Structures are given as structure tokens and as C-alpha cells.
Amino acid sequence: MRLVDIAIGLPNTLHIKGPDVVDWARRADERGFSSLATIDRIVYPSYDSLTVLAVAAGATSRIRLFPDILLTPLYPPVWLAKATASLDALSGGRLTLGLGVGNRPDDYAAMDRSLERRGKLMDETLDLLHRSWAGDSVTGDEHPVGPEPAAGGRIPVLVGGTSDAAVRRTVAYGEGWTAGGASPEQVAPMVAKVRRAWQEAGREGEPRISALAYYGLGDEEVSKGSLRRYYSFLGEWADTIANSALRTPNSIRAAARAFADVGVTEFVLDPTVPSIDEVDRLADLLL
């Protein structure tokens, strides 16, 4: 029995040809994964998050689209409002936005955005996005900047981060919270904190909770190499991340159970081996 919704990452940070990423999306849709996720970064030869999800939307019919997470303050807010509303409308309402701040100075420098003001930029962007999706003019002109989202006036948002500000943003703007690169034991206190704040704010229902982990069921050295390259800016810590990926059926099943036990509602498994066989092998394990 499936304990949580099982999502799969697109290999948008791996060394893989563009058409193979599209095939990956189709296979994930066919095999029944809940969402296609992406990892966002600027100063790296990865595929752009919203671009790859737009292409994936055209190649699929059912699966949700989930940038997890989009580094929100890096982007011009008005453009982001238009792009996300367009993607949601064109995909038939399949977009859920994982939005977070990020902290890599090179990404902020490349986009000419202020690292020091990233929290303020995040708050301003979240406010503008929701006003724009609701049909308000955010430019002072007569018209809104984007089409109406498929569900009318709103796109689901999951907020990333572990600060008090992240909890505040989750309650104010989100449908839930998304955890990045943490163990179930590390995620559990944050889930409790988010749920407590949710109830205190009078929000109805329960927040959606997402968590991600890296996996690789194929070549272990390829898997480790992918993570070492991506996290090379962390120095020796890159080896720790490379060694922590889930690489056996038992570890993957155990992680899914453990995240479900702490209240996670969608478990995202991000690939580290750029072979489409990874889609089928993961589906055979968990779906």
C-alpha cells in the first residue's frame, strides 16, 4: 500500500540530452508518479526549471508539475507572475509551486539581485504573485499581467525553508511546506511547527507537506559523481551528500515509510543517474 504520494524529480541538473528529459517525463506520467519535480539553480549547466516543466507539461497529460524549489527572489516578480500563471493555465491546473529563498551568492550576483535583501524580496514577490493571479493589476496599468490560473485566482504554493519567516509565509501564502534534503527525524519538528502555526492562524484543513531525497538505483559511481559535481561549492561536504543518497530498494522503502510517519504527504525522489531505467525501477519499488 502506498503510504504517501510518490513524486519523481526530472533530471534537469544531470548530464542528459534534452529529448531524454522529455522521455523521462512521459515515462513518469505513464507509471503513475504524483508529480514531476525540478531543482532550481542559475550558475550551473542545468535545464531551467520553468522551461523544462513547460516542455514536460506538453508531453504529459496527468502528472503534476512541481518546481521544488524555485529560488523566488532571483526572478523579476512581474515576469514570474506571468510565467507561472501561463504554465498553470496551459497545463490545465497541474502546477504546484515550491518557493524558497536560497542562499548562493553566485546565483544572486548573476541575476543582479540583492542577497542581503532576499527575505524582503521573497515577501514582496509572494504578495505580488497572489495579487496578480487573483486578477489585480500589479503594474498600475489597466490589465493584469497574466492569464487566469486554471482553478481561478490562485496557484498552490508550498513554501521552503526552516526559519520562523518560512513558517509565517507558509501560513500566509501557502497550501503547505516543503522540506529539502533533511532526514525524517529532522523534518518532524518542523512539520509540527507548521501544523501548530496553521491551526493558530485559523487555516482550514491540514497543510500539504513535501519532502525530498536523492536516489540512484543504477551505477553508484555515476550517482555519486553527479552529486559531487552539483555540490562541489561545498568542498568536502559534497562527499557527505554524495554518500547519503538512497541506493537500495530497502533504504528507499524505509525512507518512504519514515517520511509518512512524520506527516509528509508527498515524497519526492530526485534522480542522480541520468538513465530512464531509473523511472521504471523506482516505480516498481513504490507504486
Could you give the CA distance from residue 271 to residue 23 in angstroms, rounded to a whole number?
Answer: 14
Full-model pTM: 0.96
Q: What domains does the chain contain, in order, with CATH numbers?
A: 5-286 (3.20.20.30)
What sign does the dihedral 63-15-187-6 (CA atoms) show? positive
Give percent above pLDDT 70 in the chain. Answer: 99
> Strand 97-100 and strand 70-71: pairing?
parallel
Q: Each residue of 133-179: pLDDT tens digit?
A: 999 999 999 999 999 999 999 999 999 999 999 999 999 999 999 99
- Identify any residues that bridge with 267 across adjacent strands, giving them in sequence order: 6, 211
- Given a cut of 70, whether residue 30 has pLDDT beyond it is yes
Where residue 145 falls (left for φ over 0; alpha for ψ -120 to 50; beta otherwise) is: alpha
